[in-house]
């Protein structure tokens, strides 16, 4: 229905972010071209990568997160929080809300497990909440990684239509935007679908792959689900990764890499 099944699997098979590796690659990002400036050529993450890595549709209707006058935007000027309550059957307490975002912990505590024998309406509400959590934490996470924006209400209100949207294109655009913010030096914490970025690095640059993850699986990003990088000596690891990137040549890159 929503065509987010593969993303749901990633949520169950999470892998940790290798911060030094990702940081060293992000330093190579050029906002003016949306490419990584490598020693041998410019390269970037493409829609094909998104489709293969995350299994998301990339050729359907565009996804809009337009937020101007959001409180009167949805459902014929119906107040956003009123619609939230109608769709999910409950409102979060005031201390769990920050303007138009809700703490993810509230979603998890309220909709963590659908009751056994629940009626169709209850199942639908839990489904809407779960998809909002997927979108807010897996594809369109902010820097906190723990907040769910209610901009997704218009989409989950029409579950039958969700499969008709290009979620992969929207996720890639959001990742580009997040990397650009960090590259401009005004933001220090990277957000966005970082599992896509890290898996792209592993697949396109085999020399950076962790050892012992040779079993093929679909979606491709799930291959690294058990990877647990070291959290010590981040500074030296960033420096070492920079040096390794400096020495990269075209032959060190997977032949499937897209160049621009």
- Around Cβ 194, how many Cβ atoms within 10 Å? 20
Beta carbons of 89 and 115 less than 8 angstroms apart: no
Residue 217 has pLDDT above 60, yes or no: yes
Residue 222 has pLDDT above 70, yes or no: yes
Predicted confidence band at 260 (pLDDT cuts at 50, 70, 90)? very low
Predicted confidence band at 9 (pLDDT cuts at 50, 70, 90)? low
Predicted confidence band at 163 (pLDDT cuts at 50, 70, 90)? confident
**Mean pLDDT across the chain:** 87
**Ranges of H-type helices in 13-157:** 19-26, 47-54, 80-88, 104-111, 120-134, 153-156
Q: What is the pTM (predicted TM-score) of this model?
A: 0.89
Indicate the burial class of 101 (C-beta count within 10 angstroms; 0-12, 13-18, 19 or more): middle
| CA–CA dist 53, 75 (Å, integer) | 34
| CA–CA dist 185, 13 (Å, integer) | 32
Where do the domains of the chain lie? 5-57+168-252, 70-164
DSSP β-bridge partners for residue 97 = 102
| CA–CA dist 72, 81 (Å, integer) | 10
Rounded average pLDDT over 81-92: 93
């Amino acid at each position: 229905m929503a065509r987010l099944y593969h993303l749901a699997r990633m949520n169950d098979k999470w892998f940790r972010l290798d911060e030094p590796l990702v940081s060293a690659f992000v330093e190579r990002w050029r906002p003016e071209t949306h490419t990584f400036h490598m020693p041998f050529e410019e390269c970037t993450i493409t829609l094909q990568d998104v489709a293969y890595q995350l299994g998301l549709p990339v050729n359907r209707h565009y996804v809009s997160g337009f937020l101007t006058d959001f409180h009167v935007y949805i459902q014929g000027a119906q107040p956003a929080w009123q619609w939230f309550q109608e769709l999910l059957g409950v409102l979060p307490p005031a201390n769990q809300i920050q303007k138009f975002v809700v703490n993810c912990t509230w979603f998890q505590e309220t909709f963590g497990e659908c009751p056994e024998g629940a009626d169709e309406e209850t199942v639908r509400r839990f489904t809407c909440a779960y998809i909002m959590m997927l979108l807010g934490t897996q594809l369109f996470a902010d820097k906190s990684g723990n907040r769910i924006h209610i901009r997704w209400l218009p989409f989950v209100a029409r579950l039958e239509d969700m499969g008709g949207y290009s979620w992969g294109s929207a996720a890639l655009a959001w990742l580009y935007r997040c990397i650009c913010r960090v590259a401009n030096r005004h933001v220090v914490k990277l957000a966005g679908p970082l599992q896509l970025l890290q898996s792209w690095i592993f697949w396109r640059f085999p020399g950076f792959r962790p050892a012992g993850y040779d079993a093929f699986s679909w979606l491709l990003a799930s291959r690294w689900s058990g990877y647990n990088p070291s959290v010590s000596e981040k500074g030296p690891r960033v420096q070492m990764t920079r040096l390794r990137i400096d020495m990269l040549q075209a032959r060190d890159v997977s032949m499937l890499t897209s160049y621009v």
